[in-house]
Amino acid sequence: MTTSPLAELSTHVADLIARIEQALTLADLLVDEPFIVGKRSILSTLQKSLGALAPEERKDAGARLQDARRGIEEAFAVRRALLEEEARAEQLEADRLDLGDVVISQVLAPLSVGHPGIVAATQRQLEDVFVAMGFNVSDGPEVESDWYNFEALNIPPAHPARGMWDTFYVDLGEPETVVLRTHTSPTQIHLMEQAVAQDALPIHSVMPGRCYRRDTPDARHLATFHQIEGLVVDRGISFADLAGVIETFTHAYFGADISSRLRPAFFPFTEPSAEFEITCTICRGDGCRTCSQTGWIELGGCGMLDPAVFEAVGIDGDEWSGFAFGFGIDRCAQMRHQIADMRALIDNDVRFLRQFS
């Protein structure tokens, strides 16, 4: 009597079940799949051998083998589902974004504490120098009526001197024309008006702030820039006081080897007027391209207050006299830090900005 091909079936089934259970990962199980439930499985080999059986035996054996296969397939599917679930959980764990980690390692660590920009820092230093010299600090509006920006400063409508300032007009309307201030000088007018109203003369003030001109930016000009205005109204003030203040400031801010000089100029609101220049900080006075070989760099304008300005604000020019000056804060920063192109101040390139922390 021939032994049935299925004599060992239960052993084979137990082996296959063990093999399924031994697969610890989905990858292991899938590698084994052909040997467990696929064409290379012992079950497939047995299936083929059934052909040798007599027909009545074959039917019975076929049914047993079919049962066994179903059992194995089910065990395989259960194991597969379990391992898939484990693999998914593992993947999720690996992909999990720990926001705490991200914040600390990638966001906070490279984030350094900010610092005032170079123009703001320069403005504070300038204020400090003038405060030490006995001035106080005021400010005024950036949007001004035509009267403050021009007329009260002895620049009537259509006066040719208006060409000195390329103006952004906010409103050309009636009754008032409104402009973005082209200089900090209108703040002088506000200050003098207040002092008159409050009977609070004398005045010793500096007024820093942002100004606007319809200029095309270049290496030494910006359309939005900063000035610091100085105003002294007191009894017996002379041009020598003005020159002394400018020279004292120049040494205090730029250093002992940098001096100032005044050159005749014209401004409608001062008489006499001067441009003030300092020793070129790039060549220290020897002459270079930045100062056009002169050894001097223009910083701003100044002069004795014009009687027409006193009249506009109602100050008695017989009792009081005074001087004013105004110069560029951005230009000071440029000269002090020897910045070749002023546009670097507004580019916001952090590699540039970090140098001034």
Note the residues at the interface with ligand PHE (CB under 6 A).
183, 185, 267, 270, 273, 300-303, 324-326
Q: How far is the CB of 336 from ligand PHE (least distance, A)?
A: 20
Question: Which residue lies nearer to ligand PHE by CB, 5 or 268?
Answer: 268
Q: How far is the CB of 182 from ligand PHE (least distance, A)?
A: 7
Q: How far is the CB of 120 from ligand PHE (least distance, A)?
A: 20
- Long-range contacts for 154-162 (Cβ within 8 Å, ≥24 apart)? 154/268, 154/269, 154/306, 154/308, 154/309, 154/312, 155/268, 155/269, 159/268, 161/266, 161/268
Q: Residue 92: phi, psi to the nearest 5?
A: -60, -40
Q: How far is the CB of 188 from ligand PHE (least distance, A)?
A: 7
Q: Residue 244: phi, psi to the nearest 5?
A: -65, -40
Question: Would you list the DSSP string of 12-55?
Answer: HHHHHHHHHHH--SHHHHHHHHHHHTSTTSHHHHHHHHGGGS-H
Q: How far is the CB of 345 from ligand PHE (least distance, A)?
A: 18
Q: How far is CA 257 from CA 2, 243, 244, 285, 332, in A?
A: 119, 17, 16, 10, 16
Q: How far is the CB of 257 from ligand PHE (least distance, A)?
A: 26
User: 329: closest CA among 202, 157, 233, 208?
Assistant: 208
303, 323 in Cβ contact below 8 A? yes
Question: Which residue lies nearer to ligand PHE by CB, 273 or 281?
Answer: 273
Q: 6: how many CB neighbours lie within 10 A of its CB?
A: 19
Q: What is the DSSP letter of 104?
A: I
Question: Which residue lies nearer to ligand PHE by CB, 140 or 300?
Answer: 300
Q: How far is the CB of 304 from ligand PHE (least distance, A)?
A: 9
User: 129: closest CA among 234, 211, 231, 250?
Assistant: 250
Question: Which residue lies nearer to ligand PHE by CB, 5 or 322?
Answer: 322
Question: Which residue lies nearer to ligand PHE by CB, 76 or 253?
Answer: 253
Question: Which residue lies nearer to ligand PHE by CB, 43 or 206?
Answer: 206
User: 138: closest CA among 222, 195, 177?
Assistant: 195
Question: Which residue lies nearer to ligand PHE by CB, 118 or 324?
Answer: 324
